[in-house]
Amino acid sequence: MNIILVSSHLAKAKTLTFKRRHFMALLSALFLVVVLMVLGLNYLSLRYVDKINSPSFRSFVMSVQQEEYKKSQQYLSVNLNAMAIKMGQMQAQLLRIDSVGKRLAELSGIEPEEFMFDQMPGQGGALSISLSKDISFIEFGNQVEDLSRILNDRLGKLETLDLILRKDRLKKEMRPTNMPVDAKWSSSSFGYRTDPFTGKKAYHKGIDFVAETGASIKAAASGVVVYSDRHPEYGNMVSVDHGNDLVSRYAHASKRLVKVGQVVKQGEKIAEVGSTGRSTGPHLHFEIRHKGRAMNPSRFLKKIN
């Protein structure tokens, strides 16, 4: 832009040329002046507000301060509500972690007293005065967010471990390893023997445990009852399916206490010892079959192994 100056005092007209950079410099200078004036007035109003007797000016300053105070309080309230919600979520996460931790302790055989999940861990140490300082609201919020992410990560890992351990425990409970009856000795083992009725060599498909009539017969493993009836040779018999084509049989019982389709747990009483069917006296005939083929029970039972 060109500005032409004409005056009687000048021998000839003068031309002033303003380029873009000149305008930018002028605008920057004006902006700087305005900012300095505002800051100066703000400082003077806050510094000498108690010495100014003008009621209108005092009212204006107080209204500005109150407005700023309301905004800060509103901001703080919103953030505190958000923090309260986040703290509630973290408390729920901690309860879940405590629950999973207790289950893991039980599954692993750890005594409950070794890990007190319902108590805060002890902390302490010397006070470091040189490094101690108040934490800001923003820093506190960041720490809460970090802690929440850590809790989510730990909870996911603990739940995965809990699932693995429970599956492992379930597999163990589904294997017929518990003694089916409290007996000190067996009268017939698995394999070939002399048949007590015919006197001929015959293949014995289970183990006979000597016990008194009425003694408890317990499930060697968890499973589903697939047979509970009277058999022409086995007498009162109960069969339990443990999955993976593995079935246990309990024969010659005096009384059956379970029904077909019933779910039984390892060690649960399912019948009582007797001498029904093809039997010479009170005892439990115990079999384990895999895909219908008889297997030696001593390969499974803990007490015999």
Average pLDDT over residues 194-216: 91
Average pLDDT over residues 102-113: 64
Are 146 and 85 in contact, with CB atoms under 8 Å apart? no
What is residue 193's three-state secondary structure? Answer: strand
pLDDT bucket at 61, cuts 50 / 70 / 90: low
Percent of the chain with pLDDT over 90: 29
pLDDT in tens, 66-76: 777 777 777 77
Q: What is the pLDDT of residue 281?
A: 92
pLDDT at 49 over 70: no
For range 181-188, the mean pLDDT: 83
- According to the model, what pLDDT value does residue 210 have? 92
d(CA 219, CA 190) in angstroms, rounded, equals 19
> Do the Cβ atoms of 272 and 217 come closer than 8 Å?
yes
Could you tell me the pLDDT band of residue 239, with boundaries at 50, 70 and 90?
Answer: very high
Residue 134 has pLDDT above 80, yes or no: no
Looking at residue 141, the DSSP 8-state letter turns out to be H
Least confident interval from 5-9, 59-63, 230-234? 5-9
The first and second tokens of residue 43, run together, are 């400082």
Q: How far apart are CA 127 and CA 50, in angstroms?
A: 42
Mean pLDDT, the chain, whole residue set? 78
Q: Of 64 and 247, which is predicted with more confidence?
A: 247
Phi then psi for 221, rounded to 5 degrees?
A: -160, 165
Mean pLDDT of 96-100: 74
> Which pLDDT does position 4 carry in this prediction?
60
